[in-house]
């Protein structure tokens, strides 16, 4: 299921999902058991309170057969016991709440870890199809919703069961007639709850879906705010957001409307039950059939009986949200890796750097071929450049070499080994990539070069930074290599970010170096520094270069010209110019002005 086309499922409750959710709580069953026992003890204390007050009223306060001193002593004894019970219940309840909250946080911590670990294993094609905002919602909002379910709904379920069972037993023990009257409105309560469940099911799910869409929209447009402002599309985007926001507002209002009908309905039923109880109970008191304290206990028990019913709307909200969140989380966790490691991988410890593409066919969507019968060979230590118009398939070759995607036909070999027979991590640790759009993480200069690899020392960082001429600008920063880097490196220039990307790639000492449009957005001075470093960096490494500016690849050992997914020409710069084919045409388009000026001179 693609999150862009996320559907609203009609099933309000799924035992399979609940069973799967409970498996996450299984390692903490002992803590949960202690919490349930604590809830039972607190419930007993709550049931004892009306009983103690009833005893005080009937046996001491409203008993004409004992003396005043006996009545006072009896009330003091019951009052003292009441205070003790309240104090003990408070301490038990504190421990229970802390224990359950701790358990819930541990469960959600483990679930978040599992989701993020799974996300890192998914293929790039998955991220091509799914907005970042939706995925962030899975790890944050949806897991928080599940935390509420673990800590509120499940524990309160035990509390409610204990309360209702205890109250029914207490009422029947006191007076069967009054118990029947107090429970006579149960069919109305069950009918109201059934109607509420039917109306509320889709409303809660709709709210979560609308919220996920808002998150996706905000994530995408805040990241792309520069483009929004550059093309002056603020008003248009505001209208788009207004529409999405209005859909979220309508979903929330539908949910609130259902709640606004349900809660007053329960209040009416409670008031009706209370009126019946006072009417019949009051008549029996006047007739001398029951004591006043018994009626007080019934009124108090009735209030406790309806409290779980009053709270059911909130619990149902949490439960529905949890079911919707759990469905989406499990859909994500059940998403299979499209690019899988082999069951018996071939070790790839040492790499010489020979690359072979043999009759490779590839399509991103399974319909339109991006690469068609592509075959070429790169020897160890060679520098090979790929040129061609946009969409010719240059970047796709790099994606396939790193096995971000799997090919449909053909073979890709490194040192004669099919990359599909090698673990992805083993393959990628031998490849260093510098992309045109450099991504830097929030942190400092060192961490962005090292990427948390403890094997890369500070001296290694200084060495590679000097190699790529990044050391010159880094040492001018306020804190040098410890200078803070903001999200995506927004405080650094494009050239500085690319120099850091060079340093990052080289710090891992790859045998294969990939430069994907690496010098396309760099000023002349920075390009001169990089070109100076490239001669040293590419020595002893197989280097693949993709660049639109042909001046950067004239010294490549081999240039491969791609056109509409096929290889049209292969040769050196001079050989391709002599052929006067596609490469010659590209060269003339880029340098015709310079050539005209030289002729005039």
The tens digit of pLDDT for each residue in 443-458 reads: 888 988 998 888 888 8
User: Do 358 and 257 share a structural domain?
Assistant: no
292-321: pLDDT as tens digits: 888 899 999 998 888 887 777 677 777 777
Residue 421 clears pLDDT 70, i.e. is over it: yes
> Both 355 and 216 in a single domain?
no
Domain that includes residue 308, residue range:
14-333
322 and 395 belong to one structural domain: no
Which pLDDT score, from 0 to 100, does residue 592 have? 64
Q: Is residue 100 part of a domain?
A: yes
Same domain for 401 and 301: no
Structural tokens at position 459: 């001296």
pLDDT of residue 174: 86
Look at residue 136 and tell me if it is in a domain: yes
Give dist(CA 154, CA 212) in Å, integer. 25
76 and 26 within one domain? yes
Average pLDDT of the segment spanning 33-51? 91
Q: Are residues 246 and 135 in the same domain?
A: yes
Query: At which residue do the structure tokens 């406790």 appear?
Result: 304
Q: Which residues contact 285 (CB under 8 A, 6 or more apart)?
A: 291, 292, 295
Give me the pLDDT at residue 519, please.
53
Last residue of a domain, one of 287, 313, 333: 333
The structural domain count of the chain equals 2
pLDDT of residue 455: 86
The first and second tokens of residue 302, run together, are 């009735």
pLDDT at 5: 44
Picking from 271, 305, 333, the residue at the C-terminal end of a domain is: 333
Same domain, 179 and 285: yes
Residue 24 has pLDDT above 50, yes or no: yes
Element (H, E) at 54: helix 29-56
Residue 364's domain is classified under what CATH number?
Answer: 3.40.50.300
Residue 493 falls within a domain, yes or no? no
On whether residue 485 sits in a domain, the answer given is: no
Average pLDDT over residues 117-124: 86
Summarize the confidence of residues 416-442 as an average pLDDT: 88
On whether both 226 and 94 belong to a single domain, the answer is yes
- The confidence score (pLDDT) of residue 522 equals 59
Tell me which H or E stretch contains 554. none
Are both 291 and 410 inside the same structural domain? no
User: Does some domain include residue 71?
Assistant: yes
* pLDDT at position 102: 92
Same domain, 208 and 349: no
364 and 407 belong to one structural domain: yes
Token look-up 């009609």 returns: 10
Q: What is the pLDDT of residue 219?
A: 77
Looking at the domain assignment, is residue 52 inside a domain? yes
Q: Which pLDDT value is given to residue 412?
A: 94
Do β-strands 383-387 and 409-414 pair in parallel, antiparallel, or remain unpaired? unpaired
If DSSP codes are grouped into helix, strand and coil, which group holds residue 49? helix
255 and 157 within one domain: yes
- Whether 521 has a pLDDT exceeding 80, the answer reads no
Structural domain ending residue among the three candidates 333, 355, 389: 333
Q: What is the CATH number of the domain that holds 52?
A: 1.20.1560.10
> Would you say residue 600 has pLDDT above 50?
no
Quote the mean pLDDT of the chain.
85
Q: What is the pLDDT of residues 131-172, one digit of tens each?
A: 777 788 788 888 888 888 888 877 778 888 888 889 999 899
Q: How far is CA 83 from CA 53, 143, 226, 311, 440, in A?
A: 12, 40, 64, 27, 61
Which residue's structure tokens are 């490196």?
Answer: 489
What pLDDT does 518 receive?
A: 52
Q: Do 488 and 440 contact (CB within 8 A), yes or no?
A: yes
Distance CA(320)–CA(325), nearest Å, equals: 8
* Per-residue pLDDT tens over the stretch 476-507: 888 888 888 887 777 788 778 888 888 888 88
Contact 439, 223 (CB under 8 A): no
Q: Is 523 exposed, middle or buried (0-12, 13-18, 19+ CB in 10 A)?
A: exposed
- In this prediction, residue 538 carries a pLDDT of 76
Residue 523 confidence (pLDDT)? 66
In a domain, 426, yes or no: yes
Whether 529 is in a domain gets the answer no
Q: Is 323 exposed, middle or buried (0-12, 13-18, 19+ CB in 10 A)?
A: buried
**Contact between residue 471 and residue 508 where contact means Cβ atoms under 8 Å apart:** no
């Amino acid at each position: 299921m693609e999150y862009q086309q996320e559907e609203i499922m009609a099933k309000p409750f799924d035992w399979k999902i609940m069973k799967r959710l409970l498996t996450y709580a299984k390692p903490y069953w002992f803590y949960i058991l202690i919490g349930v026992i604590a809830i039972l003890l607190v419930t007993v204390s709550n049931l004892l309170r009306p009983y103690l007050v009833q005893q005080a009223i009937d046996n001491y306060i409203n008993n004409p057969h004992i003396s005043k001193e006996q009545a006072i002593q009896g009330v003091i004894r019951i009052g003292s016991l009441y205070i003790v019970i309240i104090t003990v219940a408070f301490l038990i309840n504190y421990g229970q709440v802390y224990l359950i909250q701790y358990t819930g946080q541990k469960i959600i911590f483990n679930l978040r870890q599992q989701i993020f670990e799974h996300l890192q294993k998914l293929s790039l094609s998955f991220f091509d199809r799914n907005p970042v905002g939706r995925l962030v919602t899975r790890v944050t909002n949806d897991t928080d919703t599940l935390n509420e379910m673990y800590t509120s709904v499940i524990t309160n379920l035990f509390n409610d069961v204990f309360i209702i069972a205890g109250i029914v037993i207490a009422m029947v023990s006191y007076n069967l007639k009054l118990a029947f009257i107090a429970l006579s409105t149960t069919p109305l309560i069950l009918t109201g709850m059934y109607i509420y469940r039917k109306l509320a099911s889709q409303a809660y799910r709709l709210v979560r879906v609308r919220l996920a869409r808002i998150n996706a929209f905000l994530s995408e447009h805040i990241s792309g705010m520069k483009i929004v402002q550059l093309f002056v599309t603020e008003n248009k985007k505001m209208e788009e957001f207004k529409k999405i926001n209005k859909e979220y507002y309508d979903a929330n209002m539908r949910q609130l409307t259902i709640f606004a009908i349900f809660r007053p309905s329960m209040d009416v039923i409670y008031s009706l039950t209370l009126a019946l109880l006072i009417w019949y109970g009051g008549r029996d008191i006047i007739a001398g059939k029951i004591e006043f304290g018994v009626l007080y206990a019934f009124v108090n028990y009735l209030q406790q009986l309806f409290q779980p019913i009053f709270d059911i709307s909130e619990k149902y909200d949490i439960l529905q949200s949890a079911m919707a969140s759990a469905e989406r989380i499990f859909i994500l966790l059940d998403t299979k890796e499209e690019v899988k490691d082999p069951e018996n991988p071939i070790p790839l410890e040492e790499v010489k750097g020979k690359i072979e593409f043999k009759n490779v066919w590839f399509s991103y969507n399974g319909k339109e071929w991006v690469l068609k019968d592509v075959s070429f060979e790169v020897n160890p230590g060679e520098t090979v450049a790929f040129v061609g118009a946009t969409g010719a398939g240059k970047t796709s070759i790099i994606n396939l070499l790193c096995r971000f995607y799997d090919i449909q036909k053909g073979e890709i070999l490194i040192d004669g080994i099919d990359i599909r027979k090698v673990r992805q991590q083993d393959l990628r640790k031998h490849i260093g990539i510098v992309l045109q759009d450099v991504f830097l993480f929030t942190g400092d200069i060192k961490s962005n070069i090292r990427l948390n690899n403890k094997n890369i020392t500070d001296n290694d960082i200084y060495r590679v930074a000097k190699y790529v001429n990044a050391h010159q600008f880094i040492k001018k920063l306020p804190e040098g290599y410890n200078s803070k880097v903001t999200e995506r490196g927004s405080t650094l220039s494009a050239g500085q970010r690319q120099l850091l990307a060079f340093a990052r790639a080289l710090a891992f000492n790859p045998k294969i170096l990939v430069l994907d449009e690496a010098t396309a957005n760099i000023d002349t001075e920075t390009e001169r520094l990089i070109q100076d470093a490239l001669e040293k960096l590419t020595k002893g490494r197989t280097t693949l270069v993709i660049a639109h500016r042909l001046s950067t690849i004239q010294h490549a050992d081999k240039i491969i010209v791609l056109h509409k997914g096929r290889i049209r020409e292969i040769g050196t710069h001079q050989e391709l110019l002599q052929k006067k084919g596609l490469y010659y045409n590209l060269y003339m388009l880029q340098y015709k002005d310079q050539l005209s000026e030289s002729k005039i001179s």
